[in-house]
Structure 1
């Protein structure tokens, strides 16, 4: 008889802020139900060697665009010891932060908070471990469990999967990253490599927050270089962070969006896209305008805005042809680097799922169908659940995969797992079919 294999209630793929928040929710759930015979068990696999969240954009002057109260736990459990406020207390900065009178911490500070929280639950995560395959474990015709295989040859067996692999940098069609062509996600690493090389020109493509931050940082770091910002808009547009518009990020908004018909969902995305996409904090817009105006007064223009324009040709050598969208005039720029701040796209989880991928149902537009509890809709017979932490905007709305909703979302996923949980069964009868 085959030896018994330990079965985790949850195996998490990836360990960014979302699955970190889930690990915390699990720890608190188990601590609050200490008398139960069988706690909810979980393990997470993360390919990075340690916790990291957009390290390439941890600009030391950049601030978060969400309130510190939308941390990993507070909207789910305001009394949690894993809150940002408790982190500040542990760091000896609570009073200083209160005196700062600001809802929006520095991005590097929030990252430090994440690392602080991750260290408290590091017993349930394996870093430096990349998931390479997910295989079904059958009981007859039914998929009873999932075997999650890692690049080092190890594997875990799970009743449920929670996929939190984050976002992938997105470049325009036909553009390939290289020595002189970057995505902004690499910014700080690339800038460090350029120190001491005296670059003369950068081209920054994009009109959102990241593009504006990249332009400002390059303008600061390389005082002899020209920074050319290229975007299709007339100017940087401010984020709509007014109180009523921000209700699109309320937890209740997920329910309302999920229940809405497709025409209403499409309208809501168009109406409120400016709360999150291609929008810039007004303070940063004002600062960039001050720089442009000051340079015009001084007669030395290093920050150049190519508005209502687009790059129509970019070579590996850094030659960029910029075309005006109004008059068609073209300007050729020779750049030391071309930085694309062109956003991210959610990773498609289905290739990782192997033969289970085709069992994940899709809508008429080819998008994955997702249930309200973030569980993929699959063909029967799958006993366990495959949950998504990301890639659910089309079903759950703008806020569904953002930090604004992280604490609430992981609570809903955990509750779904608990509600669906069944008593553990002997593994021997399944082991041969799985491995």
Structure 2
């Protein structure tokens, strides 16, 4: 545990962010816009650490024809500041495609295009981020029994750096999930690495696959099935899922209100039994569901193949994958029918798990600071309305979560829908809680808007 001693305190940031995905990019933009409006002495100084060497968001799933499932108006800034220079529309204008996009008459851009927008926005605030730096420790800095700051240690290669913060914003995103006992390999993939793995497959001689098995019933699973079927015209693609068929996503106007900023207030204040009901009622807006147009396309394809007698697209519905065994350059997958109990064995070149993601445990990175954070009766983080971890009174610094707050803030907490509003609320909380230096503390030295060196 670090102790503040005379003369040993490093320069201090008002905010340090862990991770620089869409959520913390939006945070950096909100800081930049805030600092542009206030006097220099009132600016919020900040720095972010990102373990990737450059910005990247689900790169392995940037399938060429996949579209966003959220309106372009729910970008990094619009719902917080429609006049911002960081909007998706400003991005389109800078690329010379604004008129073309308007003529396209769609609210849902290509995913690869939206990723390019995110890169464009991240580049505008990259003076605040250190790429290639993985945060490996967070330690409390104590003065007179009070945790005044947090020392954040980040590693880049063999070097480490330590930065001190009044506030911490954790935006480490989600981690790919595969069932227990499954080890990813050259022949067993998660959807998050689809395109990367396919590039490696293309580099192997005689690697033309004859069969893929895709496990899962959500949007990513269906997109994988459609893409692999199109890209490998000689290969069989087998979809395995426990349902009778893909379930359509409810993206109707009333249902989409569950993603409104006001819905966060309602969910946060609701009793626990109401929270559970709301998640049950509206899970079909996001979880294990597929766009209805994609469902129709897949059904059209499988029916066409039946007519032509060339069935490459197979659906093993009402089935579970009960065995996966690698044998040389093949994988033996066993699907068990939930109705008959009969097994179907498939020898495949690749098994792709479209089994979703799990949130990163915020306590994992906090070290001994986690012992000062409160949990609910299920062991989950207790989170205040401003996305701040509930802590012991002795913890003066703020620890904010961008993600992992579904149980407190509802279904939208890990999605793009509410990013712009959420970062504004976090910034307001940090400013309102105050960032005045404690007695004897050195002043931070600004190097550009919102960064400290």
- The SS at the match of 2:41 is coil
What is the alpha-carbon distance in structure 2 between the residues aligned to residue 369 and residue 37 of structure 1? Answer: 33
* Alignment partner of 1:401 is 2:401: no
What is the alpha-carbon distance in structure 2 between the residues aligned to residue 159 and residue 180 of structure 1? Answer: 45
The size of the alignment, in residue pairs, is 428
Q: CA deviation at 1:428?
A: 6.4
- The SS at the match of 1:154 is strand
Q: CA deviation at 1:109?
A: 0.4
* Alignment partner of 1:320 is 2:320: no
1:364 is matched with: 377
* Alignment partner of 1:115 is 2:128: no
What is the alpha-carbon distance in structure 1 between the residues aligned to residue 212 and residue 404 of structure 2? Answer: 32
2:194 is matched with: 187
CA deviation profile, 1:169-223 (whole Å, cap 9, x unmatched)? 0011221211211110000011112226111111000000000000011101111
1:92 is matched with: 96
- The SS at the match of 2:160 is coil
What is the alpha-carbon distance in structure 2 between the residues aligned to residue 194 and residue 105 of structure 1? Answer: 29
Q: CA deviation at 1:92?
A: 0.2
User: Aligned pair in 2 of structure 1 residues 428, 24: CA closer, same or farther (>3 Å)?
Assistant: closer
Q: What's the RMSD between the two structures over aligned residues? A: 1.2
* Alignment partner of 1:17 is 2:30: no
Q: Map 1:238-277 onto structure 2 (within 5 A).
A: 238-277=248-287
Contact in 1 for aligned 2:14/2:435 (Cα 8 Å): no
1:202 is matched with: 212
Q: Map 1:75-224 onto structure 2 (within 5 A).
A: 75-151=79-155, 152-195=159-202, 197-224=207-234
Q: CA deviation at 1:329?
A: 1.2
1:237 is matched with: 247
- List alignment gaps of at least 5 residues for structure 2: 1-5, 443-453
What is the alpha-carbon distance in structure 2 between the residues aligned to residue 421 and residue 183 of structure 1? Answer: 43
What is the alpha-carbon distance in structure 2 between the residues aligned to residue 422 and residue 295 of structure 1? Answer: 65
What is the alpha-carbon distance in structure 2 between the residues aligned to residue 325 and residue 172 of structure 1? Answer: 18
TM-score by length of 1: 0.97
User: Aligned pair in 2 of structure 1 residues 385, 330: CA closer, same or farther (>3 Å)?
Assistant: same
- From 288, 297, 303, the equivalent of 2:298 is 288
Q: CA deviation at 1:316?
A: 2.6
1:7 is matched with: 12
What is the alpha-carbon distance in structure 1 between the residues aligned to residue 439 and residue 345 of structure 2? Answer: 68
Q: CA deviation at 1:5?
A: 1.7
What is the alpha-carbon distance in structure 1 between the residues aligned to residue 440 and residue 338 of structure 2? Answer: 63
Contact in 2 for aligned 1:4/1:427 (Cα 8 Å): no
User: Aligned pair in 2 of structure 1 residues 344, 302: CA closer, same or farther (>3 Å)?
Assistant: same
Extract structure 1 runs of 4+ deviating beyond 4 A: 426-429
2:64 is matched with: 60
Contact in 2 for aligned 1:179/1:316 (Cα 8 Å): no
- The SS at the match of 1:334 is strand
- The SS at the match of 1:153 is strand
- List alignment gaps of at least 5 residues for structure 1: 430-435
* Alignment partner of 1:38 is 2:48: no
What is the alpha-carbon distance in structure 1 between the residues aligned to residue 40 and residue 366 of structure 2? Answer: 32
What is the alpha-carbon distance in structure 2 between the residues aligned to residue 146 and residue 209 of structure 1? Answer: 39
What is the alpha-carbon distance in structure 1 between the residues aligned to residue 170 and residue 440 of structure 2? Answer: 24
